[in-house]
A and B are shown apart, each in its own frame.
Chain A
Amino acid sequence: MKLSDRIQDDVVILEPTGKIMGGPDASLLHDKLYEYIEKNMKRVVIDLAQVDWMNSTGLGILISGYTTLRNSNGELKLANVTDKIQSLLTITKLVTVFETHDSVEDAIKSFDS
């Protein structure tokens, strides 16, 4: 997994590419999140458009990211969820927990409403 990040309208956009499979991926995402939390930027959208595969460990990384933000009064939303990840979220019934949006823009807008 590679991870790039940018800021759009005061919202942090994280863009992982490749497979989210655990191992070093976990600390990569974690460190990035903590970096922004320290800057008091706690509204984060993970753009999953470029993620072609994710296993149970990868899902664990998203869960812990979500928890981390929640614990510091932030919020994590997902955008451009692929079918595979969507079905993973459905099966695990985490769709009820994760807020998903069809596009990054939608996700950003949803913070304001």
Chain B
Amino acid sequence: MDAELVQTLLHFVVGGFLVFLAITVVRDNIGSRLNRATGGILLFAGLGPLALAMSSIMQQPAPGAGGSAMYNLYHVWELLFPTLVVFSWYFPVDRLREFRHPRFRYLVFIPQVIHLILVLFFSDIDALLETVSASESQGGFSGALMRPFAYVLQILLLFIGYILSNQLVIFGSINLLYVVVAVYFLESGRRLQTNPRLVPQTEALVWAVRLGLGLYVIGLLGGLVAGGLITEGVRSLIYLTAAAVGTVFIVYAIVRHQFLDVRLVFRQSLIYTITSALLVGLYIVVGVRASEFTRPLFGERAEIVSYILIILLLLLFQPISNWIDGAVRSMFMRTRSDHRNIIERFSRDIISVFDPKELRRKIEDTMKTAMLVEKVYFVLYDDDVGEYAIMPSDDYGRRTIIRRDDMMLRGINLLDRPTSYNSLEDYAEGSQLAETLTELRVKLILPMKDTEHLLGFLALTSKVAGYRFSPEDYNLLGVLSNQMVSALTNARLYVDSLERIRLQEEVTMARQIQLDLLPSHPPKMPCSVICALSEPSRTVGGDFYDFIQVDGRKQVGIVIADASGKGMPAALLIAQIQAIIHSEVNNGNSIAMMLRNMNRQIALSTSAEKYVTLFYGELDRETGEFEYANAGHNYPVLVRASGEVELLEVGGPVIGAFPYMEYESTKVKLNDGDVVFFFTDGLSEAMDEQGVEYGEERIRSFVRDNRHMEPEELMKCILEDVRAFDPSTPPQDDTTIVTLKMTGAGAVIDEKHVQDFR
């Protein structure tokens, strides 16, 4: 093959591919001006070589003076320079918004269009001049009339001729200037751009333009400085290389970084086209030249061998193309923009995230890098305030609570799939939310709904660089929103469980405090033995007992009480009661007065349904005299040594129900062997499966029958008996028992023993 044929072939292949690429890029999304601009660049870059190839095929004469129109048409490729400048105004940052008259952007095409017109219609300037001089020299009236025009025309033609003879300098410089401007805008746009997907796209493009620029400069300088060295043919080859290199980078940006946001199918087919074209081209070359290679080796039989070779190659075609197919697929599987990849990555990323803030960050990241969304806003149900709120994020600095009756919120509540914001227009009237969303340039609403509740929604602005949401994007967003719902629910459950653990810890601490408030062991007295136990049905209880050493007196106070209700509220009430008792006892008030004061304080400081049943008695350690008052508490059972049963019921109503109540106290004399059994209703109201209560009667007989036992043993036995009666665990109510047994009233008291029981 001679050099000219190779050159023509190269021009044809490169030009043809560029035009093909231009058409596919525009067709992929004709509505996008970015696609149109890119298509324009590729088209003009392709038309130049194609024109050269065509003129070469049609055996047109050489360029220059008297060159053919077909050859000169190759100057159309220069239009790619203004298109590139326009492109750099769109991408990666839309600068046209700042333009007051965006239509004027097409003015940048003027120099190149003029150049094209000049080379197309004025290439044979000498012939034109001759025609003009001919008409000038015409005699007669018309000749006289035409003369001034012809004169002007002549000057104009001479000027054009001057321009054409210096076209390389003039238009070459303009083109160079255009490339520099485009590089400037692309480069500065790349610096402004933060989207991690756009940055590599822009970088690839900047490289494409830079390399193209470099080659163009070489060609231009070569033509100017070393005009003799670099011929027109070589220069066009250099330009061709520049176009090819630029194209490779654009294809790389499209395939690898999803430049122009083209669909996956398109990107794959692009690779297929290129690889199959290369493969088939290789096959054709081998097929055509096979006999040439084989002749020196096989001589006569070369023809047969070459047929065998071709058949072998054809057999290999399928496996090779399969291999290419597999390689292409695996390459795309790695890219971040593949939908399956996005879903897979997203669910892996968010499944282990329980911190709501971190979760929002991950979602935002996916929306921006995978979906190329420019800005993402979160509107979520805020558990803290019990309302929906725009959550603070990178794009939104504060938290804005949305009124529950906001029309737009109601409208969004009805959605169950990604929806364009514009279609929600009907709900916009009078809606504060709609006002905010419009202000934020929201384009798409992505509701996040579990089976019945709207957890919130994402408000997405348009995609970066003017890319548009495709139907595939809508489907993908739908799938992602389902994953977000489960992730958000998980995160909330996790936070709840943390909260529960924290509460549990607090309750445990409260229990410890409550235990610390109970006496560590009962007072040891020579005259009597006291035992006590308290079992809350929950972690903290509403029962309590206490022994109080009255300052400077020989009496010991015994108190048992039960607050209405259970758990924490009852425990708090009990703590209050305990504090009041201690201060009252030390104030030296009588028992009746003490209960009266306590009742008033509690009644006035708590609501009516909160009350405490309480029994308070003071045992004289010397005389065995027991003065008590019973404020609505289960009657303690006094079993005399003889077996006779008395109930300690004198006193007044429960503490805390009604403010102004009177209480009275009374005295009983306790003797050797007498047992006093104090308890709370957890013991008497224990219930068997038939709903029968254990009852006070049963308690009285049990204590009477077992009065000979030591207090410790008596308590253990009765508790066993009650638990056998009502085996429910935990017990239904708090249970507290205090047992007092007289062992020898009037005995000498060891003060040391009395002092240390608290």
Task: Flag whether A8 is at the interface (Cβ < 8 A).
Answer: no
**B562 contacts across to A, CB distance below 8 A:** 56
- A56:B565 contact, CB within 8 angstroms: yes
- A96:B685 contact, CB within 8 angstroms: no
Tally of contacts, chain A with chain B, CB under 8 A = 62
A70 to chain B, nearest CB (A): 9
B638 to chain A, nearest CB (A): 16
Task: Flag whether B654 is at the interface (Cβ < 8 A).
Answer: yes
- A97:B653 contact, CB within 8 angstroms: yes
A87 to B630, CA, bound (A): 15
B376 to chain A, nearest CB (A): 43
0/1 interface trace, chain A 77-113, chain B, CB 8 Å (1 if under): 0000000000000011110110000000000000000
- B564:A59 contact, CB within 8 angstroms: yes
Contact among B565, B634, B653 with A57 in the assembled complex (CB-CB below 8 Å) = B565
A60-B609 CB under 8 A given contacts A91-B632, A92-B632, A94-B632: yes
**B188 contacts across to A, CB distance below 8 A:** none
0/1 interface trace, chain B 554-596, chain A, CB 8 Å (1 if under): 0000000010110000000000000000000000000000000
Residues 604-623 of B contacting A (Cβ, < 8 Å): 607-611, 613
Chain B: CB-nearest residue to A53? B691
A26 to B607, CA, bound (A): 12
- B609:A64 contact, CB within 8 angstroms: yes
Task: Flag whether B657 is at the interface (Cβ < 8 A).
Answer: yes
Task: Flag whether A74 is at the interface (Cβ < 8 A).
Answer: no
A67 to B607, CA, bound (A): 10
**B609 contacts across to A, CB distance below 8 A:** 26, 57, 60-61, 63-64
Q: A-B pairs with the 10 shortest C-beta distances?
A: A60-B609, A92-B632, A64-B608, A67-B608, A64-B609, A56-B564, A93-B653, A63-B657, A60-B564, A92-B654
A59 to B609, CA, bound (A): 8
A93-B610 CB under 8 A given contacts A55-B685, A56-B565, A57-B565: no
- B607:A64 contact, CB within 8 angstroms: yes
- B632:A63 contact, CB within 8 angstroms: no
- A91:B635 contact, CB within 8 angstroms: yes
- A94:B654 contact, CB within 8 angstroms: yes
A93-B564 CB under 8 A given contacts A60-B609, A63-B609, A63-B611: no
A67 to B649, CA, bound (A): 25
A55 to B653, CA, bound (A): 16
- B608:A93 contact, CB within 8 angstroms: no
A109 to B591, CA, bound (A): 40
Residues 661-706 of B contacting A (Cβ, < 8 Å): 681, 685, 691
Say what secondary structure dominates the interface of chain A: helix
- B658:A97 contact, CB within 8 angstroms: yes
**B611 contacts across to A, CB distance below 8 A:** 59-60, 63
A64 to B606, CA, bound (A): 11
Chain A: CB-nearest residue to B542? A56
A93 to B630, CA, bound (A): 9
Chain A: CB-nearest residue to B630? A93
**A97 contacts across to B, CB distance below 8 A:** 653, 657-658
A63 to B633, CA, bound (A): 16
A82 to chain B, nearest CB (A): 13
Chain A: CB-nearest residue to B657? A63
Chain A: CB-nearest residue to B691? A53
Task: Flag whether A68 is at the interface (Cβ < 8 A).
Answer: yes
- Give the most central of A26, A53, A56, A97: most B CB within 10 Å: A56
0/1 interface trace, chain B 529-542, chain A, CB 8 Å (1 if under): 00000000000000
A67-B654 CB under 8 A given contacts A60-B610, A93-B632: no
A91 to B634, CA, bound (A): 6
B242 to chain A, nearest CB (A): 82
A20 to B631, CA, bound (A): 22
**B564 contacts across to A, CB distance below 8 A:** 56-57, 59-60
**19 new A-B pairs (CB below 8 Å) besides A57-B609, A94-B632?**
A26-B609, A53-B691, A56-B564, A57-B565, A60-B611, A60-B657, A63-B608, A63-B609, A63-B611, A64-B607, A64-B609, A67-B657, A91-B613, A92-B654, A93-B630, A93-B632, A97-B653, A97-B657, A97-B658
- A92:B565 contact, CB within 8 angstroms: no
A99 to chain B, nearest CB (A): 14
- A92:B610 contact, CB within 8 angstroms: no
Chain A: CB-nearest residue to B647? A91
A91-B633 CB under 8 A given contacts A55-B685, A60-B611, A64-B609: yes
**B733 contacts across to A, CB distance below 8 A:** 55
A92 to B615, CA, bound (A): 11
A96 to B633, CA, bound (A): 15
**B608 contacts across to A, CB distance below 8 A:** 60, 63-64, 66-68
A106 to B659, CA, bound (A): 29
Chain A: CB-nearest residue to B563? A56
Contact among A57, A92, A96 with B613 in the assembled complex (CB-CB below 8 Å) = A92
Contact among A26, A91, A94 with B657 in the assembled complex (CB-CB below 8 Å) = A94
Chain A: CB-nearest residue to B653? A93
Contact among B652, B681, B691 with A56 in the assembled complex (CB-CB below 8 Å) = B681
**A22 contacts across to B, CB distance below 8 A:** 565
- Give the most central of B562, B564, B607, B691: most A CB within 10 Å: B564
Chain B: CB-nearest residue to A66? B608
Chain A: CB-nearest residue to B631? A93
Task: Flag whether B189 is at the interface (Cβ < 8 A).
Answer: no
Contact among A53, A59, A61, A67 with B658 in the assembled complex (CB-CB below 8 Å) = A67
A56 to B634, CA, bound (A): 12
A94 to B219, CA, bound (A): 111
Task: Flag whether B39 is at the interface (Cβ < 8 A).
Answer: no
Chain B: CB-nearest residue to A67? B608
A57 to B613, CA, bound (A): 12
0/1 interface trace, chain B 95-136, chain A, CB 8 Å (1 if under): 000000000000000000000000000000000000000000
- A94:B653 contact, CB within 8 angstroms: yes
Task: Flag whether B651 is at the interface (Cβ < 8 A).
Answer: yes
**A56 contacts across to B, CB distance below 8 A:** 562, 564-565, 613, 681
A11 to B634, CA, bound (A): 34
**B610 contacts across to A, CB distance below 8 A:** 60
A72 to chain B, nearest CB (A): 13
B657 to chain A, nearest CB (A): 5
0/1 interface trace, chain A 38-61, chain B, CB 8 Å (1 if under): 000000000000000101110111
**B631 contacts across to A, CB distance below 8 A:** 93
A96 to chain B, nearest CB (A): 7
**A67 contacts across to B, CB distance below 8 A:** 608, 657-658
A97 to B652, CA, bound (A): 11
A102 to B232, CA, bound (A): 125
A61 to B611, CA, bound (A): 11
Residues 338-358 of B contacting A (Cβ, < 8 Å): none
B565 to chain A, nearest CB (A): 5
A33 to chain B, nearest CB (A): 12
A73 to chain B, nearest CB (A): 16
10 A-B interface contacts by CB (under 8 A): A56-B562, A57-B565, A60-B610, A63-B608, A66-B608, A67-B658, A93-B630, A93-B631, A93-B654, A97-B658
B392 to chain A, nearest CB (A): 38
A34 to B685, CA, bound (A): 32
**B654 contacts across to A, CB distance below 8 A:** 92-94
A64 to B609, CA, bound (A): 5
- A60:B658 contact, CB within 8 angstroms: no
**B634 contacts across to A, CB distance below 8 A:** 91
- A96:B681 contact, CB within 8 angstroms: no
